[in-house]
Amino acid sequence: MTFRAEARAKVNLYLHVVGRRDDGYHLLDSLIAFAEVGDTLEAGPADGFRLTVEGPTAGLLPAAEENIVERAARLLAGRTGRRPDAALTLTKRLPVAAGIGGGSADAAAALGVLARLWGADLPRDELFALALRLGADVPVCLAGRATQLTGIGEGVEPAVALPPAWLVLVNPMQPCPTPAVFKSRRGPFSDPAPLTQAPADAGALAAALAERRNDLADAAIAVVPAIGEALAQLAARPGCLLARMSGSGATCFGLFAAEVEARVAAQALQAANPAWWTAAAALAG
Protein backbone atom coordinates (compact mmCIF):
# COMPACT_ATOMS: atom_id res chain seq x y z
CA MET A 1 0.00 0.00 0.00
CA THR A 2 1.32 3.43 -1.00
CA PHE A 3 0.36 6.71 0.64
CA ARG A 4 0.67 10.11 -1.00
CA ALA A 5 0.79 13.68 0.34
CA GLU A 6 1.05 17.08 -1.33
CA ALA A 7 3.53 19.57 0.14
CA ARG A 8 2.07 22.86 -1.01
CA ALA A 9 3.92 26.16 -1.14
CA LYS A 10 3.52 28.24 2.02
CA VAL A 11 2.96 31.95 1.43
CA ASN A 12 3.30 34.70 4.04
CA LEU A 13 0.60 37.12 2.92
CA TYR A 14 2.04 39.54 5.48
CA LEU A 15 4.83 39.18 8.04
CA HIS A 16 5.44 41.45 11.02
CA VAL A 17 8.49 41.03 13.25
CA VAL A 18 7.06 41.86 16.68
CA GLY A 19 9.95 41.11 19.02
CA ARG A 20 12.99 39.03 19.80
CA ARG A 21 13.57 36.41 22.47
CA ASP A 22 16.63 36.30 24.69
CA ASP A 23 17.91 33.30 22.71
CA GLY A 24 17.94 35.37 19.51
CA TYR A 25 14.84 33.92 17.87
CA HIS A 26 12.50 36.55 16.43
CA LEU A 27 8.80 36.66 17.30
CA LEU A 28 6.47 36.90 14.35
CA ASP A 29 2.91 37.78 13.45
CA SER A 30 1.98 36.45 10.03
CA LEU A 31 -0.99 35.39 7.93
CA ILE A 32 -0.10 32.14 6.20
CA ALA A 33 -1.86 30.72 3.19
CA PHE A 34 -1.02 27.96 0.75
CA ALA A 35 -0.83 27.88 -3.03
CA GLU A 36 -1.99 24.97 -5.19
CA VAL A 37 1.54 24.20 -6.32
CA GLY A 38 4.18 22.20 -4.51
CA ASP A 39 6.11 18.99 -4.03
CA THR A 40 4.69 15.47 -3.81
CA LEU A 41 5.71 12.76 -1.36
CA GLU A 42 4.85 9.08 -1.76
CA ALA A 43 5.55 6.44 0.89
CA GLY A 44 5.32 2.69 0.84
CA PRO A 45 6.50 -0.23 3.00
CA ALA A 46 10.14 -1.34 2.81
CA ASP A 47 12.79 -3.20 4.73
CA GLY A 48 14.93 -0.24 5.82
CA PHE A 49 14.80 3.40 4.81
CA ARG A 50 15.09 4.63 1.23
CA LEU A 51 14.53 8.15 -0.13
CA THR A 52 14.48 8.94 -3.85
CA VAL A 53 14.39 12.59 -4.87
CA GLU A 54 13.33 13.52 -8.38
CA GLY A 55 11.59 16.35 -10.21
CA PRO A 56 12.56 19.64 -11.86
CA THR A 57 14.17 21.22 -8.79
CA ALA A 58 15.68 18.08 -7.24
CA GLY A 59 19.15 19.10 -8.37
CA LEU A 60 19.01 22.24 -6.23
CA LEU A 61 19.13 20.29 -2.96
CA PRO A 62 22.56 20.30 -1.24
CA ALA A 63 24.04 16.85 -1.79
CA ALA A 64 26.01 16.83 1.46
CA GLU A 65 23.05 17.55 3.77
CA GLU A 66 20.61 15.07 5.24
CA ASN A 67 17.21 15.72 3.68
CA ILE A 68 14.63 17.06 6.13
CA VAL A 69 12.28 14.29 4.99
CA GLU A 70 14.73 11.71 6.33
CA ARG A 71 15.06 13.66 9.58
CA ALA A 72 11.26 13.69 9.92
CA ALA A 73 11.09 9.95 9.30
CA ARG A 74 13.74 9.15 11.90
CA LEU A 75 12.16 11.51 14.43
CA LEU A 76 8.70 9.96 14.05
CA ALA A 77 10.13 6.44 14.10
CA GLY A 78 12.02 7.18 17.31
CA ARG A 79 8.89 8.55 18.95
CA THR A 80 6.83 5.50 18.00
CA GLY A 81 9.54 3.00 18.96
CA ARG A 82 10.06 1.45 15.55
CA ARG A 83 12.59 1.38 12.74
CA PRO A 84 12.14 3.99 9.97
CA ASP A 85 11.19 1.35 7.42
CA ALA A 86 9.79 3.10 4.37
CA ALA A 87 10.44 3.70 0.69
CA LEU A 88 9.86 7.39 -0.02
CA THR A 89 9.79 9.25 -3.32
CA LEU A 90 9.93 13.04 -3.16
CA THR A 91 9.07 14.92 -6.35
CA LYS A 92 10.54 18.42 -6.04
CA ARG A 93 8.88 21.28 -7.92
CA LEU A 94 9.48 24.18 -5.53
CA PRO A 95 12.77 26.08 -5.38
CA VAL A 96 15.01 25.48 -2.37
CA ALA A 97 15.47 27.95 0.53
CA ALA A 98 12.97 30.24 -1.17
CA GLY A 99 10.75 31.61 1.62
CA ILE A 100 7.79 29.41 0.67
CA GLY A 101 8.45 26.55 3.05
CA GLY A 102 9.52 23.94 0.50
CA GLY A 103 11.60 21.89 2.91
CA SER A 104 9.21 22.54 5.80
CA ALA A 105 6.24 21.44 3.70
CA ASP A 106 8.16 18.30 2.71
CA ALA A 107 8.85 17.54 6.39
CA ALA A 108 5.21 18.09 7.33
CA ALA A 109 4.12 15.83 4.49
CA ALA A 110 6.55 13.17 5.71
CA LEU A 111 5.13 13.25 9.24
CA GLY A 112 1.60 12.94 7.92
CA VAL A 113 2.17 10.27 5.31
CA LEU A 114 4.42 8.13 7.53
CA ALA A 115 1.98 8.35 10.44
CA ARG A 116 -0.59 6.78 8.10
CA LEU A 117 1.83 4.20 6.72
CA TRP A 118 2.94 3.11 10.18
CA GLY A 119 -0.47 3.44 11.86
CA ALA A 120 0.95 5.95 14.34
CA ASP A 121 -2.07 7.64 15.90
CA LEU A 122 -0.31 10.43 17.81
CA PRO A 123 -2.29 13.23 19.49
CA ARG A 124 -2.31 16.46 17.47
CA ASP A 125 -0.30 18.39 20.05
CA GLU A 126 2.38 15.73 20.13
CA LEU A 127 2.67 15.62 16.33
CA PHE A 128 2.96 19.42 16.24
CA ALA A 129 5.69 19.28 18.90
CA LEU A 130 7.65 16.90 16.67
CA ALA A 131 7.09 19.27 13.75
CA LEU A 132 8.52 22.21 15.70
CA ARG A 133 11.67 20.19 16.42
CA LEU A 134 12.23 19.98 12.66
CA GLY A 135 11.88 23.72 12.03
CA ALA A 136 9.86 26.81 12.88
CA ASP A 137 7.74 26.59 9.70
CA VAL A 138 6.93 22.89 9.90
CA PRO A 139 3.93 23.17 12.31
CA VAL A 140 2.07 25.63 10.06
CA CYS A 141 2.79 23.42 7.05
CA LEU A 142 1.42 20.47 9.01
CA ALA A 143 -1.78 22.47 9.61
CA GLY A 144 -1.97 23.05 5.86
CA ARG A 145 -4.67 25.73 5.90
CA ALA A 146 -4.97 29.49 6.27
CA THR A 147 -3.33 30.18 9.61
CA GLN A 148 -2.52 33.06 11.90
CA LEU A 149 1.05 32.42 12.99
CA THR A 150 2.60 33.74 16.21
CA GLY A 151 5.70 33.18 18.31
CA ILE A 152 8.60 31.63 16.45
CA GLY A 153 6.18 29.43 14.57
CA GLU A 154 4.64 27.37 17.35
CA GLY A 155 1.51 29.54 17.62
CA VAL A 156 -0.77 28.08 14.95
CA GLU A 157 -4.41 29.20 14.97
CA PRO A 158 -7.01 29.07 12.17
CA ALA A 159 -7.20 32.35 10.28
CA VAL A 160 -10.30 34.05 8.91
CA ALA A 161 -11.66 32.53 5.72
CA LEU A 162 -9.85 33.73 2.62
CA PRO A 163 -11.68 34.47 -0.63
CA PRO A 164 -11.01 32.83 -3.99
CA ALA A 165 -7.89 34.38 -5.53
CA TRP A 166 -4.85 33.54 -7.64
CA LEU A 167 -1.15 33.95 -6.99
CA VAL A 168 1.77 34.36 -9.34
CA LEU A 169 4.91 33.15 -7.58
CA VAL A 170 8.31 34.36 -8.78
CA ASN A 171 11.78 33.46 -7.53
CA PRO A 172 14.92 34.98 -9.12
CA MET A 173 16.83 31.79 -8.24
CA GLN A 174 19.46 33.56 -6.19
CA PRO A 175 20.35 32.45 -2.63
CA CYS A 176 18.74 34.53 0.10
CA PRO A 177 19.98 33.12 3.44
CA THR A 178 17.48 33.70 6.24
CA PRO A 179 20.14 34.52 8.89
CA ALA A 180 21.59 37.23 6.64
CA VAL A 181 18.13 38.75 6.12
CA PHE A 182 17.34 38.92 9.82
CA LYS A 183 20.79 40.34 10.52
CA SER A 184 20.20 43.09 7.95
CA ARG A 185 16.76 44.05 9.31
CA ARG A 186 16.63 47.56 10.74
CA GLY A 187 14.04 49.64 12.56
CA PRO A 188 11.62 49.09 15.43
CA PHE A 189 9.45 46.03 15.92
CA SER A 190 5.93 46.08 14.51
CA ASP A 191 2.63 45.53 16.26
CA PRO A 192 0.64 42.37 15.61
CA ALA A 193 -2.16 42.97 13.11
CA PRO A 194 -4.17 39.77 12.62
CA LEU A 195 -7.12 39.90 10.25
CA THR A 196 -10.33 39.78 12.28
CA GLN A 197 -12.86 39.86 9.43
CA ALA A 198 -12.97 37.61 6.39
CA PRO A 199 -12.34 39.62 3.19
CA ALA A 200 -15.28 39.45 0.81
CA ASP A 201 -13.20 39.04 -2.33
CA ALA A 202 -9.67 39.28 -3.70
CA GLY A 203 -9.85 43.08 -3.85
CA ALA A 204 -10.80 43.29 -0.18
CA LEU A 205 -8.00 40.88 0.70
CA ALA A 206 -5.50 43.04 -1.20
CA ALA A 207 -6.76 46.16 0.60
CA ALA A 208 -6.37 44.50 4.00
CA LEU A 209 -2.87 43.26 3.16
CA ALA A 210 -1.87 46.71 1.89
CA GLU A 211 -2.35 47.97 5.47
CA ARG A 212 0.26 45.44 6.55
CA ARG A 213 3.70 44.55 5.18
CA ASN A 214 6.60 42.15 5.15
CA ASP A 215 9.09 43.55 7.66
CA LEU A 216 11.91 41.55 6.09
CA ALA A 217 11.49 42.84 2.53
CA ASP A 218 13.92 45.77 2.68
CA ALA A 219 16.56 43.61 4.33
CA ALA A 220 16.09 40.84 1.77
CA ILE A 221 16.37 43.29 -1.13
CA ALA A 222 19.64 44.54 0.36
CA VAL A 223 20.90 40.95 0.32
CA VAL A 224 19.41 40.03 -3.08
CA PRO A 225 18.58 43.13 -5.18
CA ALA A 226 16.81 40.95 -7.76
CA ILE A 227 13.94 40.64 -5.27
CA GLY A 228 13.19 44.31 -5.83
CA GLU A 229 13.13 43.72 -9.59
CA ALA A 230 10.77 40.77 -9.18
CA LEU A 231 8.40 42.87 -7.09
CA ALA A 232 8.46 45.69 -9.64
CA GLN A 233 7.73 43.36 -12.54
CA LEU A 234 4.89 41.67 -10.65
CA ALA A 235 3.30 44.99 -9.69
CA ALA A 236 3.41 46.13 -13.33
CA ARG A 237 1.38 43.17 -14.65
CA PRO A 238 -2.28 43.90 -15.54
CA GLY A 239 -4.61 42.62 -12.84
CA CYS A 240 -2.02 42.49 -10.06
CA LEU A 241 -3.74 43.73 -6.90
CA LEU A 242 -0.69 43.49 -4.63
CA ALA A 243 2.96 42.47 -4.99
CA ARG A 244 4.86 41.28 -1.94
CA MET A 245 7.73 39.06 -0.81
CA SER A 246 6.95 35.84 1.07
CA GLY A 247 8.81 34.92 4.25
CA SER A 248 12.45 35.90 4.24
CA GLY A 249 12.67 35.66 0.43
CA ALA A 250 13.53 35.29 -2.27
CA THR A 251 10.10 34.23 -3.59
CA CYS A 252 7.65 37.05 -4.29
CA PHE A 253 3.97 36.83 -5.12
CA GLY A 254 1.42 38.83 -7.02
CA LEU A 255 -2.22 38.61 -5.90
CA PHE A 256 -4.80 38.38 -8.70
CA ALA A 257 -8.57 38.07 -8.76
CA ALA A 258 -8.81 36.20 -12.07
CA GLU A 259 -7.12 32.99 -13.20
CA VAL A 260 -6.61 34.18 -16.77
CA GLU A 261 -4.79 37.34 -15.63
CA ALA A 262 -2.56 35.31 -13.32
CA ARG A 263 -1.65 32.78 -16.02
CA VAL A 264 -0.94 35.49 -18.60
CA ALA A 265 1.23 37.34 -16.06
CA ALA A 266 3.17 34.16 -15.19
CA GLN A 267 3.80 33.39 -18.85
CA ALA A 268 4.99 36.94 -19.55
CA LEU A 269 7.29 36.99 -16.53
CA GLN A 270 8.80 33.63 -17.40
CA ALA A 271 9.37 34.71 -21.00
CA ALA A 272 11.06 37.93 -19.87
CA ASN A 273 13.15 36.17 -17.20
CA PRO A 274 13.88 32.61 -18.34
CA ALA A 275 16.28 31.97 -15.44
CA TRP A 276 13.57 32.69 -12.87
CA TRP A 277 11.19 30.15 -11.35
CA THR A 278 7.61 31.21 -12.01
CA ALA A 279 4.24 29.60 -11.28
CA ALA A 280 0.59 30.60 -11.31
CA ALA A 281 -1.58 28.85 -8.72
CA ALA A 282 -4.89 29.21 -6.94
CA LEU A 283 -4.83 30.46 -3.37
CA ALA A 284 -5.68 27.40 -1.31
CA GLY A 285 -6.21 29.12 2.04
The pLDDT tens digits of the residues spanning 218-236 come to: 999 999 999 999 999 999 9
Domains 3-158 and 166-282 share a fold: no
* In contact, 103 and 68? CB cutoff 8 Å: yes
Higher pLDDT, 240 or 153: 240
If pLDDT is split at 50, 70 and 90, which confidence band does 49 have?
Answer: very high
Catalytic site residue 10? yes
DSSP string, 183-240: HH--SPPPPP----S--SSHHHHHHHHHTS-BTTHHHHHHH-THHHHHHHHHHTSTTE
Residue 285: predicted pLDDT: 65
Out of 85, 137, 191, 215, pick the active-site residue: 137
Query: What's the pLDDT score for residue 153?
Result: 87
Q: Which among 8, 7, 18, 15 is positioned nearest to 216, based on CA atoms?
A: 15
pTM score of the predicted model: 0.94
Consecutive H or E run containing 256: strand 252-256
Q: How confident is the model at residue 81 (pLDDT cuts 50, 70, 90)?
A: very high
pLDDT, tens digit (0-9, with 9 covering 90-100), for 158-199: 999 999 999 999 999 998 999 999 999 999 999 999 999 999
State residue 146's pLDDT score. Answer: 96
Q: At what angle do helices 226-235 and 259-272 cross, to 10 degrees?
A: 140
- Choosing from 10, 39, 106, 215, the catalytic residue is 10
What's the pLDDT score for residue 148? 96
Mean pLDDT over 60-64 rounds to 81
- Pairing relation of β-strands 26-44 and 49-54? unpaired
C-alpha torsion sign, points 205, 211, 214, 218? positive
Which strands form 240-245's sheet, in the order they lie side by side? 240-245, 252-256, 166-171, 277-282
Query: How does strand 155-158 pair with strand 49-54?
Result: unpaired
Backbone angles phi, psi at 61, to 5 degrees: -70, 135
**If one looks up domain 166-282 in CATH, what number appears?**
3.30.70.890
Residue type, 91: T
Is 3-158 CATH 3.30.230.10?
yes
Instruction: Respond yes or no on whether the N-terminal peptide bond of residue 115 is cis (omega within 30° of 0).
Output: no
Which of these, 149, 196, 143, lies nearest to 32 by C-alpha position? 149
Domain extent listing, the chain: 3-158, 166-282
Question: Percentage of residues in the chain with pLDDT exceeding 70?
Answer: 99
